[in-house]
Structure 1
Amino acid sequence: MNQPITKHKPPRRSASRKALEQKIIAAAEIVFAEQGFNGASLEAIAEKASLSKQNMLYYFPSKDSLYHHVLKNILDLWIEKMALIEQAGDTPASMLENYIRGKLEISRVHPYGSKVFANEVISGASHLQVYLEENLLPQFTADIELVRSWITQGIMDPIDPEHLFFTIWASTQTYADFSAQVSLALGKSELEEEDFRRAGDFLTHVLLKGLGLKNI
């Protein structure tokens, strides 16, 4: 399990095959998140996907292959949808608010994928190194330059842009990666959509005010 994840254009697939592959990946997300890579088995993933192991192996020939696809699936989603520079809005406050709420929405809709990613990073991110260097860093650099331009224009307090993003990533992913802890603290069996809305209200208020921006 030492082949790095790289981004490449996938071959054309039929809609039915793509749907089945996504079903398998969704099942694998849950099993990898709950049991870790070493604890997860192909049998458990196939059962979660309501498929035979033999049928599943036709689409993904190994546990390594499935793990790579699960990681790539969540990272593609983050990178393609969560660039600050591409957020709607005509002010730094509105763009940052959309970015924060968008990150929370990904945590709400894809909590298991987020947990798999977190576990991979904690263990050293050996499968993500190349992918992150080739895909995350260029976007991160562009977003950093955008924030610096706002600071230069005097429309944002002179803060450290890198740590702004680290704070947003950590605070929004908490609601996925530590959902059990957050749910327990709130006296709930699981987090609901309203909890994510409240989290968005709080985070945008605190962060935008701390940046010298007005929430709109």
Structure 2
Amino acid sequence: MGSEKETRREARIAAERAILQAAEEVFAIYGFKGSTMARIAQTAGLPKANIHYYFPTKLELYRRVVEEIYSSWLEAGDVFDNSPDAATALSAYIESKMDTSRLHPFGSKVWANEILQGAPVIQDYLETSLRDWTQSRIDIINRWIAEGQIAPVDPRHLLYMIWAVTQHYADFSHQVETLNGGKPLRSQQWHEATQSVKRIILNGISAQSSAQRAEEQA
């Protein structure tokens, strides 16, 4: 009995994941208004009834897709709380954001399209959890500045810059691929891009790890 229950649970998880992946792609291409549950079902390779079983309405499915990408971005910012210094935290944050752009480009596009339309569906996210999360990160960045870990900068603009650069690789993937000879970036190119973004931003704010500062003071 337990094994049968576990099998059903795994099947449900797999079905939801397939639906969410298909929905990311469809919403990214057609937007909320232009997308249909039938097209999402077709993309997922599932009967339309299955989509409605897990997500009764298109709005509910759309918000879940947005929540997935949104949550991954917020979780990436946990390194601000858990890292030994600003350089380590920001480096890990940039890496995580770049990984999300590489692995979930459609989700990032859904978010970008929504914001470009004035956030008609997810404005509540912006006015509550995103605003609170952003303020908490600003407080930490201001502490780093006060401690001399990074150069004085406007924390909001630092965050905006990181978001803009890392999400560019997902939101403008067609442009990136066109300028890459019409081919997606290879794993090594993603690594090089990530290292470049980190180096430019960290050098721009004079961020050094604890080990680097100790070495300079020795």
Pairwise TM-score range, normalised by the shorter structure: 0.7 to 0.9
Q: Which residue of 2 aligns with 1:73?
A: 68
How many percent identity over aligned positions? 39
Q: Which residue of 1 aligns with 2:5?
A: none
1:127 aligns with 2:121: yes
Deviation at 1:42, TM superposition (A): 1.6
1:64 aligns with 2:66: no
Q: Is the 8 A contact 1:33 1:116 kept in 2?
A: yes
Deviation at 1:182, TM superposition (A): 0.7
1:41 aligns with 2:32: no
Q: Is the 8 A contact 2:86 2:208 kept in 1?
A: no
1:205 aligns with 2:176: no
Q: Deviations over 1:9-62 (max 9, x none)?
A: xxxx93432321121011010111112222222221101111111222111122
Unaligned runs of 5+ in 2: 1-7, 213-218
Secondary structure, aligned partner of 1:126 = coil
Which shows bigger deviation, 28-37 or 162-171? 28-37
> Among 153, 167, 176, which residue is 1:173 paired with?
167
The structure in which a higher percent of residues are helix is 2
Deviation at 1:214, TM superposition (A): 3.6
TM-score with structure 1 setting the length: 0.87
Which shows bigger deviation, 58-67 or 199-208? 58-67
Which shows bigger deviation, 41-50 or 174-183? 41-50
Secondary structure, aligned partner of 1:14 = helix
Deviation at 1:84, TM superposition (A): 4.3
Per chain length, whose mean CA-contact separation is higher, i.e. which structure has more relative contact order (CA < 8 Å, sep 6+)? Answer: 1
How many matched pairs?
203
Structure-1 separation of matches of 2:168 and 2:147: 32
**Largest Rg, 1 or 2:** 2
Structure-2 separation of matches of 1:79 and 1:55: 30
Which shows bigger deviation, 162-171 or 74-83? 74-83
Which shows bigger deviation, 41-50 or 104-113? 41-50
Deviation at 1:126, TM superposition (A): 2.2
Structure-2 separation of matches of 1:63 and 1:185: 35
CA RMSD of aligned residues (A): 1.8
Structure-2 separation of matches of 1:96 and 1:109: 20
Q: Is the 8 A contact 1:32 1:116 kept in 2?
A: yes
Q: Which residue of 1 aligns with 2:86?
A: 92
